Structures are given as C-alpha cells and as structure tokens.
Amino acid sequence: MPSAQPLTPEEKLADAKRQLGLPRIVVICGSTRFMTEMAEADLRETTAGRIVVKPGCDLKSPHELWSDPVEAEALKVRLDDLHRAKIRLADEVLVIGDYIGDSTRAEIAYARSLGRPVRFTHPEVDPVSHKSDDGRRDT
C-alpha cells in the first residue's frame, strides 16, 4: 500500500484557511499611482466579505522613511519580497488601474505561476490576453 505524499506548504496553508473558515483573501496589485483606486477597491472587496491585503507604502510620495536614496532602494527590495508573500497568502489577485508597469507585470506572472486567479479593473491591460495589431501576443 503506497504511503500518502506529504502536503506541500501551499497545501497546508490552503487546508488551514479552510479549517479556520477564513473568507477569501484578495491581494491588490498595481502601480502606486493608483493608491486612491486601491483604497476604493479595498472598501468594495471588504464589504463583499473578503480579506484584503495591499501595498502599504507609496515610495513615490515623500516620507522620512525613504528619503535616503540608498535606504529607499533597500526598502523597495524588502517591500517587493513582502508583496510576493502577500500574493502567496492570497486566494486571488486584483490588479488595479489602466497601466501595468514592470513590477506589476512581474507580480501578475508570479501569481499565475502559483495558480492564483487574477482579476483586473481594466481587463484590456492583462498582459496575457492583450494582443498587438498583428495578432501576436505582446510581452
């Protein structure tokens, strides 16, 4: 009789969330230029009964915590790692805004590599479904 394969950490997390009866967890992704829209999406997702995690810092807005350029770059690396952890925690991703930059594009690819569903407030910016005029997929 074959022995059962041990659960992966991802499977253990999903099982624990089910056992705890946690609501669906949504991570908000997108350019920090859309912080106002992210706050509105947070409100809508929360009132729909979902747990929301989103970027907590806008490094484009002045603040003493990232006023030093060297410290700001180190902070950006840590925040990128933190956001990937939020994506791993979440059940789905909601991408905000009508623009997808390199960081958001990488987050979308990461989420999809984990099998997370990705929703868009502006589906036309989905890098997977967006085609160029000659019919080829833009990358």
Alpha-carbon span 9 to 82, nearest angstrom: 17
List the chain domain ranges.
Answer: 23-125
CATH of 23-125, picked from 3.40.50.1110, 2.40.30.10, 3.40.50.2300, 3.40.50.450, is 3.40.50.450
Give per-residue pLDDT as tens, 26-76.
999 999 999 999 999 999 999 999 999 999 999 999 999 999 999 999 999
pTM for this entry? 0.86
Residues 80/102, Cβ–Cβ less than 8 Å: no
> In this structure, are strands 25-29 and 92-95 parallel, antiparallel, or unpaired?
parallel
pLDDT of residue 129: 74
Q: Per-residue pLDDT tens for 67-110?
A: 999 999 999 999 999 999 999 999 999 999 999 999 999 999 99
DSSP string computed for 18-52: HHHTPPPEEEEES-GGGHHHHHHHHHHHHHTT-EE
